[in-house]
Chain A
């Protein structure tokens, strides 16, 4: 049920979040850093979209620009981000505060430091609820118990009076998710929500996201560098490289028919795949380094690291174009024999 439309402007009625031609620039002392270039996607109700890429590819910047958390003075943002058809850039800071935590909420990477150490978790959940909804403290408390149960915290009622330091990392991340869904948001942005967790805990947390999507119809933008996480929960995927989306399609499609050499490189670096392919011990890495974000030449930025690069790759930047229906890729050599 991928709603990554070929033309993002053609908004379907089910689209909750539409990001259209998003550019984000930071002006630093070292010059202008173009963190995000021409990123577009739409997200339907109950859809989980994974933004995948290496560190510094701009995926977190995309995520933080959606609830306008980048800070107006540091970042220059172009393009539009629409929530239920409303352009978020047109809202005042005050209106935006009502959107944050209510319509769009964020789950951060570090569960160990994302909760206020001075208050019990019950109080923190209740405060978020009462900040956005006019409900009595007792009603908010009851809701907090339900939320903790929803995210799979055993003995939820007793846990309300626990302090963050009394909980494990996995439990804290569950609390963070409980806070994120407290006001029944339309969109949750999860920035590497499982990266800091044990592998055994990761599956449980990912399962919560899947349940939220199925029961509440929440749309989720999942930022990750872990293709295993993508396979686990995402409906669709956007692979980012050097600030641009280089491949966009459904999750099944990306594992069945990865078209961009970079995506293939990422898949080749997965341990399970490498081992399945005849017990080869060495993981395939991608040679070279990510280009500096201060330059944006009119060429394929992956070309210097690409095994298939030709002169045509650096003659002009390949556009993100349909490869097969519902699958777009920015590579002139897309598809063909899998060599990666």
Chain B
């Protein structure tokens, strides 16, 4: 009897995930998004290992158009654009994922507490969030980066901080609506602690909202990093970042348009990929959605 019972014990949310995966894979655009995101991650992770040194200058091939030796051409210092785009992908992935992760952890914690307890904490935090949300995301990030100084760490910090208010707002809303669910009343009636209720009832039931939010926040942070670096507030040359590649390409738009096209395409495709992935996940995670 005991053995038979323990065979049932892995009561993990397996069937649910399988259903969500099936619903996701029924959507062609979601798969396109997933492929684009995976391609971006592959480019960021293995790209720099396969390409040459992104800082290596070769004055024999300055501003050469795409060729077999340099598939995406070379820039004004004879550096390989493919290598630099791959390196830029690594910076983008780092900035996008790390800043979003920080923003989610901080924002979800504050938002759930605020929405669950309401009261003075919610009132104070809510007003602060209102003020911060009055600034457009990029303007806020530019301001913070200007104050913090230009470096990759500071870019990540600036992007993380400027994403937090939106995450708080979402987490607060989720906590407020889930708090009024009967299963939370039930948990209170069962003698559960508030902390356990927030972790076991509110967080898992709000998870899909946060997953979708992440797929919106990551491309926003990638564009944010590119923007800050483009403006000289982020990663500093000679390090490669998509924003820096665009800055460098500006002067040569007439002679060597490919210098701007490829980093620009990388930003566009990555953002598109995350957005399609997010749409697909949102539909797949929606319990009311059809298969």
Contacts and interface: CB of A to CB of B under 8 A. Distances in A.
A115 B201 CA distance: 10
B136 interface: no
Nearest to A144: B5
Given A116-B201, A122-B11, A161-B11, A141 B186 contact: no
A80 B264 CA distance: 72
Contacts of A98: 191
A132 B11 CA distance: 21
B186 A69 contact: no
B193 interface: yes
B239 interface: no
Interface string A113-142: 111111110110001100110000110011
A116 B11 contact: no
Interface string B184-225: 011111111100100011001101000000000000000000
**Chain A, interface size: which category?**
35 or more
B16 A114 contact: no
A161 B8 contact: yes
A305 interface: no
Interface residues of B, number: 31
B190 A101 contact: yes
Q: Counting chain A CB atoms within 10 Å of each CB, which of B15, B190, B205 scores highest? A: B190
B110 to A, nearest CB: 21
Contacts of B193: 97
A102 to B, nearest CB: 6
Contact of A97 (B5, B6, B191): B191
A63 to B, nearest CB: 11
Interface in A149-187: 157-158, 160-161, 163, 165, 176, 179
Interface string B162-188: 000000000000000000011101111
Given A69-B185, A108-B186, A114-B183, A100 B191 contact: yes
10 contacts: A99-B191, A100-B191, A106-B186, A117-B183, A119-B13, A122-B11, A127-B200, A138-B6, A157-B4, A161-B11
